[in-house]
Every structure is written in C-alpha cells, then in structure tokens.
C-alpha cells in the first residue's frame, strides 16, 4: 500500500505521524509525507494541531476516500492504537527540507538549516503522559488523563544526535524526576523540555538536578493564574539558587480569566522583581485574540518594554486612534 501522511500545521516534527510511518514501513508499505495527490496514495492520515485549522484540515481530508484525521486541533479523543503508540518513531520521515520552511524568527539561512537539521536528528518522545493537575485551559488532562509512565530515557535516544526533545507535560511532578535528570546528565544528553516545568513544585534537589543537565534552551515555566503567585515566585527563587535567572523564561497566560491589570501585574513582578524573562501567551480557544492583548504580547515578547512604557508603545497608541 502507498500511505500518505499529512502534517497539516505542525511547527516542528509530528510524533504521531512518525509512529504511523514506522508502523506502515514495518508492514512493507511505502510512506510519503505531505506532497501527494489522491491518485498517489491508497490511504491517508491527516494530523492537525491547532483548533483554528480544523475546518481547513477537514476540507483537505475530504478529497481522499480512505482517510483518518486526528490531532489536538481535531479532537481530544482520537488516539493511536496501543500497538502503534508504543513504537519507536520513524526518524527518517522528515528531512531538513521539510522543517526548514517552518523555521520562524530572524535567522540566517545557514542557522535555519542548522536548526532544522538539529530538529530532525533529535530523539523525541514522552517518558510520562498526562498530568497531576486539572487546569481548565489545558487539553492534557482531558486528552491524556493522570500521570502514567510510558517509556524510558533510552527509548527516546536517536543515535544521530545527543539531543532529546522531551514532550512530557509536567516533568517536575514525576515521582522519579531527579533520577531521570541524573540519567540524562550521566548519558551526556542535551535536553529540550518543550512543555516547560511546573515551577510551583520546585525543590532545591530538583533545581540542582536541572542545573546539572545541559539544556538546549532556557528553562521555561508558567504563571497562568493569579492564585498561584506565592508558589510561582517561591519556586522561581528556589530554581534560581542553582540556575541563573537569565536562563529562565516564564510564560504568562492572558485572556483566560485574568483582567488586563492582573496581566500587567504579573508581567511587572516577573520582569522587574523576579528578574526573569516573561513571555505572554494569549488564550484564544480558536478565536481571534483581543487587540490590546495582541499588542501587549508583542510589547512584552519582543522586550520593547525595556525601552518604552506600554501606553507609549506606538502600535498600541495607533490602534486606539483607528
Ligand atoms: S500543569 Fe500544565 S500540563 Fe498540567 S494541566 Fe496544568 S497547564 Fe496542563
């Protein structure tokens, strides 16, 4: 059979499609990624990550007669069968050329090629699925349920690289987080924790173990709800005893259940008192974000706040006059 895999809106690589690819190749099928027409393939899988793209992905899928569609942007119930979920991903599915166009931000062509190569060569996966918490804005509890172990560190290694991309939703809540970090350190792996850590659970021991691992980028965590101020700020201080503050980044959810005054308060505390890098994430739930929040996010995330107060930020001033 000829199998078409369509990564509809992924920003990096798609683990589910990589596992489907591994499964079908093991059956002797031919697998093609993204570039195919209905005449080229016998069966198609479409993965859509973002809810805002759901309709477009369904429209795309409708041209194929034998098609399955899934992904967080489609629904929270479609999952891979257990015999496919447990497979090692096909690390040959993506090429540098597939990932290169997805590289955003100001980078030279050489740097983009380097980053794209780094992404396709990295090992990727989950050690644990699920989360101990039930944040109402998050899909993880519904999609994955409570915390469950699904793999070992050795399962996540791609021999082409010493980087591992860890997709766990809440590493710091895992009962053996310190052992995991020690194993990653001892194997001399470089860790990319894509979903961040839960800084509210920070202890001096976890902070020390994190500091001993080589990280691919800054350590990120979140302060999403006003009620967690004390736990977040205490956790940041604990982490900072082992990991310098310039290596932290704190995501702030806005547009969920906070007022703008509360958003500004969190930003100010993080940037000027905790002295860590804030990063605004807008909760949209598939809808267009509020204009003030969009301007606020740009002003914070591009660090314009280091030069100009928000009420003098020209794009926001102009938007109010329009
Ligand atoms: S702690 Fe993080 S992963 Fe867990 S439910 Fe809350 S937002 Fe989701």
Q: Phi, psi at residue 64, to the nearest 5°?
A: -105, 145
Given ligand 1 and candidates 72, 126, 130, 133, which is best to mutate, with the most ligand atoms within 8 Å of its CB? 133
**pLDDT value, residue 288:** 84
pLDDT digits 0-9 by tens, 202-258: 999 999 999 999 999 999 999 999 999 999 999 999 999 999 999 999 999 999 999
Rounded average pLDDT over 103-117: 91
How many CB atoms neighbour CB 320 within 10 A?
Answer: 11
Whether 169 is in the pocket of ligand 1, judged by its Cβ within 6 Å, is yes
Round the average pLDDT of the chain to a whole number and report it.
Answer: 96
Res 167 pLDDT > 80 = yes
- Whole-number Å distance, alpha carbon 161 to ligand 1 midpoint, is 29
pLDDT digits 0-9 by tens, 48-59: 999 999 999 999
Given ligand 1 and candidates 72, 76, 129, 131, which is best to mutate, with the most ligand atoms within 8 Å of its CB? 131
- Whole-number Å distance, alpha carbon 130 to ligand 1 midpoint, is 9
Whether 138 is in the pocket of ligand 1, judged by its Cβ within 6 Å, is yes
Contacts with 106 (C-beta within 8 Å, 6 or more apart), sequence order: none
pLDDT digits 0-9 by tens, 256-307: 999 999 999 999 999 999 999 999 999 988 788 899 999 999 999 999 999 9
- Whole-number Å distance, alpha carbon 131 to ligand 1 midpoint, is 6
Which atom of ligand 1 approaches the CA of 224 most closely? Answer: 7
Q: Structure pTM?
A: 0.92
Contacts with 220 (C-beta within 8 Å, 6 or more apart), sequence order: 193, 196, 197, 248, 249, 250, 251, 279
**pLDDT value, residue 83:** 96
Q: Give the relative orientation of helices 204-211 and 177-186 as an angle to the nearest 10 degrees.
A: 20
**Cβ atoms 158, 124 nearer than 8 A:** yes
How many CB atoms neighbour CB 307 within 10 A?
Answer: 9
Res 176 pLDDT > 80 = yes
């Amino acid at each position: 059979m000829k199998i078409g895999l369509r990564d509809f809106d992924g920003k990096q690589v798609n683990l589910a499609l990589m596992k489907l690819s591994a499964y079908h190749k093991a059956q002797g099928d031919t697998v093609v990624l993204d570039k195919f027409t209905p005449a080229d393939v016998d069966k198609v899988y479409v993965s859509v990550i973002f809810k805002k793209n759901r309709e477009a992905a369904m429209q795309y899928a409708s041209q194929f007669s034998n098609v399955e569609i899934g992904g967080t942007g489609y629904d929270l119930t479609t999952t891979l069968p257990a015999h496919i979920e447990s497979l090692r991903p096909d690390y040959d599915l993506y090429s540098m050329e597939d990932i290169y166009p997805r590289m955003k931000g100001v980078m030279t062509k050489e740097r983009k090629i380097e980053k794209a190569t780094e992404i396709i060569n990295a090992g990727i996966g989950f050690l644990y699925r699920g989360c101990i918490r039930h944040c109402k804005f998050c899909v993880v509890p519904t999609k994955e349920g409570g915390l469950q172990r699904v793999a070992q560190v050795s399962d996540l290694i791609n021999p082409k690289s010493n980087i591992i991309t860890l997709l766990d939703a809440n590493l710091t809540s895992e009962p053996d987080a310190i052992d995991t970090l020690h194993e990653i350190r001892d194997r001399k792996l470089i860790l990319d924790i894509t979903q961040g850590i839960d800084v509210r659970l920070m202890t001096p021991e976890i902070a020390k173990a994190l500091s001993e691992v080589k990280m691919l980028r800054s350590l990120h965590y979140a302060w999403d709800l006003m009620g967690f101020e004390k736990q977040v700020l205490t956790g940041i201080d604990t982490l900072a005893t082992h990991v310098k503050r310039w290596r932290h980044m704190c995501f702030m959810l806005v547009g969920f259940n906070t007022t703008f005054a509360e958003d500004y308060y969190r930003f100010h505390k993080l940037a000027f008192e905790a002295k860590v890098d804030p990063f605004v994430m807008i909760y949209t739930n598939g809808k267009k974000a509020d204009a003030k929040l969009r301007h606020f996010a740009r002003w914070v995330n591009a660090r314009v706040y280091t030069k100009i107060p928000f009420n003098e930020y020209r794009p926001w001033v102009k938007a109010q006059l329009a």
